[in-house]
Chain A
Amino acid sequence: MEGSLLEPTLYVIKGMVILDNDGHRVLAKYYDKNIFPTAKEQKAFEKNLFNKTHRSNAEIIMLDGLTCVYYSNVDLFFYVMGSSHENELILMTALNCLYDSVSNILRKNVEKRTLFENLDIVMLAMDEICDGGIIMEADFKAVLQRVALRTDDIPLGEQTVAQVLQSAKEQLKWSLLK
């Protein structure tokens, strides 16, 4: 039979990727040395993956022997990959955790610009969700707690002029939109 039984192992995730709306890599992690060993192969795969997924929001695709679950928002695409026989719902749980964590870190502004402003925290979050292919944590609240998200606002004195302008503009935009 084609679908062999799954190896009882904790190593279930083959990769986690965030791409922007041009298909460029924002962050990417691959956990299996046997698939896409070089950056060149990884990027080729990402390009292909993006081409196949950016138009329809179908949430799941099988590509090159990998099951990829994905989710997109504004100009960001979140992917979690596993072997083609992997339980899709486990991958989905990891994806949800990734998305919810990022969304909370960015305070619901899931956009490329805000993501880059908080790139350090997002890196830590990805690292807390998956370690070398093992799901470390699937509950986004626990992830947020572990990445030491700065809950307090940055004191005004430490902000640059641009940051102040930016936040003022955001506030204005929101008040206009209401």
Chain B
Amino acid sequence: MAFKRDKKEEEDGGGNPFENIEKTSVLQEARAFNDTSVNPRKCTHILTKVLYLLNQGEQLGTTEATEVFFAMTKLFQSKDVVLRRMVYLGIRELSSIAEDVIIVTSSLTKDMTGNEALYRAAAIRALCSITDVTMLQAIERYMKQAIVDKNPAVSSAALVSSLHLARSAGELVKRWVNEAQEAFSSDNVMVQYHALGLMYHIRKTDRLAVIKLVTKLTKQSLKSPFAVCLLIRIACRLLEDEDGAPGADSTLLSFIESCLRHKTELVIYEAAHAMVNLRRTTAKELAPAVSVLQLFCSTSKPPLRFAAVRTLNQVAMSHPSAVTACNLDLENLITDSNRSIATLAITTLLKTGAESSVDRLMKQIASFVSEISDEFKIVVVQAIRALCTKFPRKHSVLMNFLSAMLRDEGGLDYKASIADTIITIIESNPEAKETGLAHLCEFIEDCEHTSLAVRILHLLGREGPKTKQPSRYIRFIYNRVILENAAVRGAAVAAMAQFGAQCPDLHENVQVLLARCQMDSDDEVRDRATYYYTILALKNRSLYNSYITESLQVSIPALERSLHQYTLNATETPFDMKSVPLAAVEPLVSEIVAQKAVPEGTIMSTPAPQRLGVSKEESALELVSSIPEIAALLPQLGPIFRSSEPVELTESETEYVVRCIKHCFARHLLLQFDVLNTLSDQLLENVRVSLEPAEGYRILREVPIPRLPYSESCSAFCLLEFPQDDLSASTGTFGATLAYMVKDCDPATGLPDSDEGYDDTYMVEDVEVTLADQVQRVWKGNWAAAWEEAANLCELEDTYALTSMRTLQEATTNIVQFLGLQPADRSERVPDGKSNHTLYLAGIFRGGHDVLVRAKLALADGVTMQLTVRASTPDVAELVTSAVG
């Protein structure tokens, strides 16, 4: 019978007696605390239930919490140790929700000074969680006593609580430094650790005191391994500080090094980790650290192996040669049962490996890759991607390997990361293009992920026509039209049209295929087919360029908004595409990946947040519209054409920090000044930036900041009109001064001492308006075609000698940055070892003027450049050429 019931119990709830408790019933039960005679066993059980509920994430209302809290205080009369301990725990849990918690102060103070050691430590911690700065002074005496108490539990509790309190009452806690010092000499290891933590916290702003503390402590041997770890970290902090610790440097370094020979692994690893991460460590100093890590690689403890291989991985990034000694140990770790360790070992090996060992490594990975989960496969793929950029000549081996991985089972993220890698290889290495495309073609033959197939088809449409034999891709693409779902069919139709537009000899065939697609069952596919068929039938190259090869350049959300606006007011005028803000050019995939700073070996459950579809200009528009003075003018200004990156007008550590963002409209310039007040004893009023505009500019409107308290950042605005007739005057320098009224105020409250203030000014750096502020980047898929088409526009040509440039790459990067135009055909990257290079740039000048620039660069003594500009008006062309000179 009992057995049966037991069985049933096990089935529901698996023996969790707390499974089905409810908040209301528990709160009801908690009234038992108020009974005249306390039943410890029962009350402990109820209190456990309350704490369990809180732990499960149940929310208590303020009144509910307060009620329980007050009921709980009745339990102070009990003598049961466990119950009393649970009460302390309950006080701490509820202290943040319940009201009037200070009511228990006297009871806790009594317990913390009482005789029962088990109560004292817990009472101190509970007391410190309910107390505030004003109350703290009353118990300061007891805290000081507790810190130096003989009982380690009491002393630790007091030290740790002081550290928690230091966040809110730093000044008061600072006075306890002598007690902390005394506690530091305790025999108990934890007390020593906590005391060191508190001492450092109190002194950390005083550099000299910290140096003194550390140099003193490095000479004696600390008992607590934790304390030694902390000391190593403090020493590292000192070493890493810019001004250094004169005289103490060598002592600190030799201390860290001596810790490599400590008796506990904990400290040895901490020291090795510190050596690896110190910026100043040289390859020679690294050697002992690497050799202890190497030893750790073969221990039986997984966390230690993990720690070692992860640190070696970091070493491999800065000093690959230092790790090569461990390659054998790392290779053994490839088969480790902990997959995190195995993956880290692989990536480390890939980083340190020489070109010759790539083939062997790939074989090893191939045998292992099928056993690991998708997340780790992705890490491996990323390591391979890095390898591709390092050894471009090995692309065929790597590409074969990747395509084999593509054919294996795997989820979307995994497949997408492989496809991304192949795409990166194609983009960075022209030699690998044809093979890469062939692999991708094969992959889409059998790809169950619609989004990935669409991306690859788009890529084929872009890159395929430029290859030697475009016709071979048509079959792969048309197969998709026959076999796939509507989204893929649509993408395939668009890709085919690209071939039709760019390869004259395929034109006829593509037209036949497109004609067939017009019978498709899906509306979208049919529409696309008809659209492309009609345009291709006209055989007009300029139409091809604007409607097939180039994608829409405006930002889609902005277009939607503009169209909606347009339909609201019934006007006769046709909709003007040029009034829609342009879309920001997306950075290349490889750049996005490089920006992610996720430590290797980490698994992210959520992929890094996708870039939002809002451009800088749109977010700027939102900000500007919230300022009533400017918002009123917006209708006549039109949309924001381009917003610049913020430019610092002051050093970062000055009294006031000023940044300027330049918003460019078709005929106006709006300067946004973000001002930060870093003086706690000043309140600024009527803050504005007074400008001395360059010739031809007219200030239309200024919006000052009415009130700028300490540590707040607000924006002042200044609206200017560009010079109307002379375009070349639009680049220039404005002198700028920050003007404001100062009121002295109390740093603590921020209230001004008096209503009287005085006017003052503060010099800031000049604001420069450059050409780059007035153009928006535009990505041209087929730059050559656009260039040809622009042949009948204004053309200007000039030659320059860029003497300060040493390399072609440097010159290219500078020109791109200076002109603010978008490079096309990946011409911003100069292949190694070439003595001449051509850079293709495209963009739109404010007011909707197209600008195309071709810069032929040759390396001689410095760099010589021949710049050809084609633009829709002569003024713009002239401005571009003059800007360079």
Contact = CB atoms under 8 A, between A and B. Distances in A.
Interface of A: 1-10, 20-22, 25, 27-29, 39-40, 42-43, 45, 48, 52, 56, 58-65, 69, 75, 84-85, 87-93, 112-113, 116-117, 119-121, 123-124, 127, 131-132, 134-139, 142, 146-148, 150, 158, 165, 169
Interface residues of B, number: 82
Contact of A52 (B17, B55, B274, B603): B603
Interface string B153-177: 1001100110110000000000000
Interface string B305-322: 011000100100110000
B686 to A, nearest CB: 37
Interface string B71-89: 0000000000110011001
A64 B602 contact: yes
Given A124-B86, A135-B193, A146-B121, 19 more contacts: A2-B314, A3-B276, A5-B278, A9-B197, A10-B163, A10-B193, A40-B57, A56-B338, A56-B339, A58-B337, A59-B338, A60-B302, A64-B603, A92-B301, A116-B18, A120-B86, A123-B89, A127-B89, A139-B190
B153 A146 contact: yes
Contact of A1 (B15, B164, B318): B318
Nearest to A21: B14
The interface residues of chain A, by DSSP majority, are classed as: mixed
B599 A3 contact: yes
A58 B339 contact: yes
B781 to A, nearest CB: 35
23 contacts: A1-B277, A5-B236, A8-B200, A8-B234, A10-B160, A45-B605, A58-B302, A59-B338, A63-B603, A84-B599, A89-B265, A89-B266, A89-B270, A90-B229, A92-B303, A116-B17, A116-B18, A119-B48, A123-B55, A131-B157, A134-B197, A135-B226, A146-B121
B826 interface: no
A64 B606 CA distance: 8
The interface residues of chain B, by DSSP majority, are classed as: helix
B2 interface: yes
A93 B266 contact: yes
Given A8-B237, A60-B306, A2 B338 contact: no
Contacts of A28: 55
Given A62-B601, A134-B160, A89 B85 contact: no
Interface in B320-342: 337-341
B125 interface: yes
A34 to B, nearest CB: 14
A56 B371 CA distance: 13
B273 A87 contact: yes
B337 A56 contact: yes
A58 B340 CA distance: 9
Given A8-B230, A8-B237, A87 B118 contact: no
A120 B46 CA distance: 10
Contacts of A56: 337-339
B599 A120 contact: no
B597 A84 contact: no
Contact of B52 (A93, A119, A136): A119
B273 A84 contact: no
Interface string B14-52: 111110000000000000000000000100110110011
